[in-house]
Amino acid sequence: MKALLTAVALITGMFSTAAAEEGSIDLIEQVDPAKNRVVGDWQKSGGELKVAAATGARLVLPWEPVAEYDFEIEFTRESGSNSIALMFVAGGHQATFDIDGWGEHLAGIQNIAGQTMRDNSTRVGGIAIENGRRYTAAVRVRKDRVEAVLDGQVIATYEGDGSNLSMVNLWDLRKENVLGLGAWDSATTFHVVRVRPLSEESQPGNRPAMVSKTPAPANPPGSVPPRRESRAAQDDISSLSDEFENPATLRNWSRVFETERMGADQLSQFDINRTRSGWMTMVPHASSWYQDYRGVLVYKEVSGDFVITTRVNAMNRAQNGPPRSSYSLAGIMIRTPREVTPQTWRPGGENYIFLSLGAATRPGQFAFEVKTTINSRSNLQVTPTSTSTALIQVIRIGQDFALLKKEGSQPWTVHQRYSRPDMPETLQVGLTVYTDYSTVSRMQPPQHNTQVIRGGNPDLHASFDFVRYRRPELPADLRGRSIANPQQVNDQQLLEAFGDNAAGE
């Protein structure tokens, strides 16, 4: 019987392959890995497409989708244990068919009405990819439905016109109305990648365009470094910037507790342009970032080199002086994404850098805290200051990071440098707040990370004037040098290239 089933499967596969090849377009032939990659090391070899293991590895496929089509791949996951994704477009909206995802062996279509496949009706459990085995997967896009197919069987169906589909932020292709491939931290070979158009009608708005998630309004009043519009227009991440003048842009920010499904919103107050005109306001419950403790992070994903700049104000909740609770600070955070849930979380997985302002070891005294954490082992430094407001900036070039600050009317200074070869190409880059470590430390990390602490002594009221993202520009004579090494790029050279020169877009 087993032999008969195998023979039937082989015959069915031959007819399916023949049908799929008729009128199909080979996308591997059209891919330019250097041009089309978003994250990861993608290579073409022997008519196949290969990607090395990398967090969030993904690539854009150079084809403009029509209204109805079949999108098929054949792949072998060589190593790793995470998902393979087919990014598709239906009704002018991007979404993904993920296979063996979220560390729970799930498959399905995401997002639907803002829900990942963990929570929507297409969720299928028990889909575990066997490394070294060749699979076929497909997405069949029609005007009224999308079918997700694995090895010839429809395993999930979405019914609708695509208007409630959206892309999971972890797979963001940074272009709309394009297809893509993803392999999360898994070395994978794609043997076949093809599409078969079934109509000539275009998808709505089928011209690929960079996603512009945040408008670029005028500068808020005050002594804020001017934005250089001509440079911003040429900068592919400047659209992520937010001047905090429009409350509606709050929806453009991701929250780590939602991404990782922890269920604990550790902010008692979170708004844009409401509590304070032209500022983002965050007031945290007792929470922390230390070792395995996971606190508040409001972020956008950024791939490759970047500069992020913000002006932060950190006060006590009464807003009349420094915070009077231990380790109550606010600032910029850079973090390696984690594909975890409360069920799959394990200690030792936190990797991040931050620079923050508030009160640290001495409640009631302003200070900066800078911290680097590798595999949940945190190393921090605290520096006293007299200011409640500062400009802070983090620069990434390759594996190197430089952290700068500007206190009041004082000049910019280089606060710290790090080399972090462990960090992947795509990072969570945004803002953090935390307070009252004395209360937090009485709990174990798994409890802290999944609960809101209603009591304790939280005492931080944080606000941010703007957040600006841009690509870094180094003078020609400094390119190729390590910004983490002051012997290669000294403080003066860093400050001439960045600081105010990188703070405005």
With contact defined as beta carbons under 8 Å apart, do 369 and 397 qualify? Answer: no
User: What is the tens place of the pLDDT at every residue in 250-276?
Assistant: 999 999 999 888 889 999 999 999 999
Q: Are residues 159 and 261 in the same domain?
A: no
Q: Minimum mean pLDDT among 11-20, 186-195, 459-468, 483-492: which range?
A: 11-20
Closest CA to 240 of 471, 35, 472: 471
pLDDT at position 229 is 37
Mean pLDDT of 209-222: 34
Residue 114 belongs to a domain: yes
Structure tokens at 252: 């453009």
Q: Are residues 164 and 306 in the same domain?
A: no
- The identity of residue 394, as a single letter, is V
Q: Minimum mean pLDDT among 122-136, 166-180, 199-213: which range?
A: 199-213
Q: Minimum mean pLDDT among 48-62, 167-181, 466-480: which range?
A: 167-181
SS3 30: helix
CA distance 271 to 273: 7
Q: How many CB atoms lie within 10 A of CB 269?
A: 14
Q: Are residues 259 and 394 in the same domain?
A: yes
| CB-based burial label for 457 (10 Å; 0-12, 13-18, 19+) | middle
Residue 35 belongs to a domain: yes
Long-range Cβ contact pairs of 164-167 (< 8 A, separation 24 or more): 164/93, 164/112, 164/113, 165/90, 165/91, 165/93, 165/94, 165/95, 165/109, 165/111, 165/112, 166/93, 166/94, 166/95, 166/111, 166/114, 167/87, 167/94, 167/95, 167/96, 167/111
Structure tokens at 60: 């854009």
Q: Are residues 175 and 237 in the same domain?
A: no
Is a pLDDT exceeding 70 seen at residue 108? yes
What CATH number has the domain bearing residue 49? 2.60.120.560
The DSSP code sequence of 217-254 is -PPPSSSPPPP-HHHHHT-TTGGG-B-S--GGGGGGSE
CA distance 467 to 8: 59
Q: Which domain holds residue 386?
A: 229-475+484-503
CA distance 274 to 391: 22
Strands of the sheet containing 461-470, edge to edge, are 267-272, 280-284, 461-470, 306-315, 389-397, 400-407, 413-419
**Assign residue 96 a region: left if phi > 0, alpha if psi is -120 to 50, beta otherwise?**
beta
Q: Are residues 100 and 237 in the same domain?
A: no
Structure tokens at 286: 């007792």
With contact defined as beta carbons under 8 Å apart, do 45 and 153 qualify? Answer: no
CA distance 99 to 148: 10
Mean pLDDT of 287-310: 95
User: What is the tens place of the pLDDT at every residue in 420-468?
Assistant: 999 998 999 999 999 999 999 999 999 999 999 999 999 999 999 999 9
Q: How many CB atoms lie within 10 A of CB 230?
A: 7
**How many domains does the structure of the chain reveal?**
2
Residue 159 belongs to a domain: yes
What is the distance, to the nearest Å, from the Cα of residue 473 to the centroid of all Cα atoms in its chain? 22
Q: Which residues are within 8 A (CB) of 409 and not within 5 positions of it... i.e. 6 or more apart?
A: none
Residue 208 belongs to a domain: no
Q: Are residues 290 and 360 in the same domain?
A: yes
Closest CA to 172 of 431, 470, 426: 426
Q: Are residues 146 and 280 in the same domain?
A: no
The DSSP code sequence of 278-316 is TSEEEEEPBB--BTTB----EEEEEESSEEEEEEEEEE-
Residue 286 belongs to a domain: yes
Is a pLDDT exceeding 50 seen at residue 9? no
pLDDT at position 224 is 43
Structure tokens at 494: 């860093």
Residue 203 pLDDT class (50, 70, 90 cuts):
low
Q: Are residues 179 and 298 in the same domain?
A: no
Q: Are residues 155 and 255 in the same domain?
A: no
Structure tokens at 219: 């500068």
pLDDT at position 504 is 65
Q: Which helix (H) or strand (E) holds 433?
A: strand 426-434
What CATH number has the domain bearing residue 250? 2.60.120.200
For 169, 288, 446, the CA distances from 95, given in Å and listed in that order, are 10, 33, 31
Residue 408 pLDDT class (50, 70, 90 cuts):
confident
Mean pLDDT of 281-306: 96
Q: Which residues are within 8 A (CB) of 484 and not within 5 positions of it... i.e. 6 or more apart?
A: 399, 400, 401, 402, 417, 418, 419
Residue 219 belongs to a domain: no
Last residue of some domain: 197, 221, 244?
Answer: 197
Q: Which residues are within 8 A (CB) of 14 and not within 5 positions of it... i.e. 6 or more apart?
A: none
Q: Are residues 159 and 304 in the same domain?
A: no
Higher pLDDT, 235 or 128: 128
Structure tokens at 333: 């955070």
Q: Are residues 258 and 321 in the same domain?
A: yes
Residue 378 belongs to a domain: yes
Residue 211 belongs to a domain: no
pLDDT at position 181 is 97
User: What is the tens place of the pLDDT at every residue in 35-87?
Assistant: 999 888 999 999 999 999 988 899 999 998 999 999 999 999 999 999 999 99
Q: Are residues 262 and 177 in the same domain?
A: no
Place of tokens 């069949």: 140
pLDDT at position 7 is 37
Last residue of some domain: 179, 197, 215?
Answer: 197
pLDDT at position 349 is 94
Q: Which residues are within 8 A (CB) of 489 and not within 5 positions of it... i.e. 6 or more apart?
A: 478, 481, 482, 483
- The identity of residue 130, as a single letter, is E
SS3 6: helix
Residue 343 pLDDT class (50, 70, 90 cuts):
confident
